[in-house]
Structure 1
């Protein structure tokens, strides 16, 4: 189970905020899209600890929305041995990996055409 308050890496947060300024898509929605794109691409979290040094601390309901159960189920499926904090790191790593394919969009039209 993911912790109730979740963080990302500072660099990932900055990319999400920049994407919001270009497209209007909020960071939590972009993070959801990035997470699933990362899973689809085949990326897997190595288990290596990462520093979640970002200042944007949101509760998991805000980060995940209606997809909370799906995200937690997928994380438990792929990483059954990880605890709560490690699952947060896995989630953050997937968001970081997935945002790489989204961060260059300069408009909502370009963003939506990637799907």
Structure 2
């Protein structure tokens, strides 16, 4: 399904880290929220708009996905049935980038929960 080691692009990582500074939500948890916000918004990844995954925060998929690992992998498989594992990782990263746009300006947990 997804590779064991995954990363995001640098810009998305910076946004996740800033969100952690303001809210205390760790980047792996906020990336899960961002992914599902993006899936719910009907965003679809296109390989032609792929960005380089040049972030320095390389974590294993268990850390990134936690208890949502199986559901996330199945969601990606349903949305992108013809993609290989690297393409699915790029799609996951694009969904996190898309979803973080709606979360990055929140300054505390209360404002995030109200937005959800």
Same fold flag (TM > 0.5):
yes
Tell me the C-alpha RMSD between the 2 structures. Answer: 0.7
Gaps in structure 2 of 5+ consecutive residues: none
Residue-by-residue CA offset, 1:53-89 (whole Å, 9 max, x unaligned): 0000000000000000000000000101110111000
Q: Which runs of 4+ in 1 moved over 6 A?
A: none
Corresponding pairs, count: 115
Q: For residue 51 of structure 1, report the CA deviation from its aligned partner.
A: 0.5
Q: How does 1:1-115 map to 2 (within 5 A)?
A: 1-48=1-48, 49-115=50-116
TM-score (norm 2): 0.97
Q: For residue 112 of structure 1, report the CA deviation from its aligned partner.
A: 1.5
- Give me the whole-angstrom Cα distance separating, in 2, the residues matched to 1:67 and 1:60: 10
